Chain A
């Protein structure tokens, strides 16, 4: 005895969901990246201080600025449809890693890491709501 199960409806819905996700997710990635970029820029927008003087707020955010190179080095780049990066360009501010990760003489000021920690829940929520909305749309 054979029993035939028709899964064409499920297949159709699966494909429709895939298409819908590929439509909405790049937009969600853009939104999350934009949020992360703005948060990082905020961390790099501390008060100006003169060359040769000791910077205020050691080890705290926002990072005080002397020559503005670090804040100018902030970049965002789309790597593919679903992956986007926010980074500090080493060609603009070669010292970015010393500021971010600290050295023997300076405390770290993790302008990128702190932004990720601060914005991760919001970014995940953007993704979650978009995905759920896509599933609901396809299910209708």
Chain B
């Protein structure tokens, strides 16, 4: 089973969210953080006790067509993955570690073998991988430090993840 063409924007976001959720539930140092899907609304800051990773909706950045044995096309999606330390103490160290871990995750082959469970529509996939879901990592760019545009003592950065489907 792969991400569904008719629901691809939501499916890509869900698959990435589930992948990162798996990491924050079972892998150190990711267990020090939490993961949320979409933009953190104001109540997130009240309930979240750990620094968090947020996964935004993908945007179609490019379409590549290939002629050979029939016409095939690949879509390049770009997803903003942000990290936010809202605990109002400490410094930028935690954010730097989070960004380094994200960068390392998406630039090594481990990302293709990490298994997680995901529900897309009415189909449940257990012990699946992002490769099995039809996603390929193209690049990860950043981090872009956004602490300046946050509250005092808030630390924040965003990275751009390129995904081919």
Contact = CB atoms under 8 A, between A and B. Distances in A.
B157 to A, nearest CB: 10
A103 B62 CA distance: 29
Nearest to A110: B80
B148 A97 contact: yes
B63 A101 contact: no
Interface in A101-128: 101-105, 107-108, 114, 117, 120-121, 124
Contact of B150 (A100, A104, A124): A104
Most buried by B among A98, A102, A105, A120: A102
B151 A103 contact: yes
A114 B56 CA distance: 13
A104 B154 contact: yes
Interface in B41-59: 42, 45, 59
Contact of A121 (B59, B62, B146): B62
Contacts of A101: 146, 149, 158
Interface in A22-80: 59
Nearest to A100: B149
Contacts, number: 34
Contacts of B158: 101
B76 to A, nearest CB: 9
Contact of B39 (A107, A114, A121, A124): A107
Interface in B121-148: 146, 148
A102 B45 CA distance: 14
A23 to B, nearest CB: 27
Contact of B61 (A98, A100, A117): A117
B52 to A, nearest CB: 13
A122 to B, nearest CB: 10
A139 B158 CA distance: 45
Given A104-B42, A107-B39, A117-B78, A97 B149 contact: yes
A115 B149 CA distance: 20
Contacts of A117: 59-61, 78
B18 interface: no
Nearest to A59: B39
Interface string B67-102: 000000000001000000010000000000000000
16 contacts: A97-B148, A98-B149, A101-B149, A101-B158, A102-B39, A102-B149, A103-B150, A104-B45, A104-B150, A107-B39, A108-B39, A117-B59, A117-B61, A121-B61, A121-B63, A124-B62
Given A97-B149, A102-B149, A104-B151, 5 more contacts: A100-B149, A104-B45, A114-B59, A117-B60, A121-B63
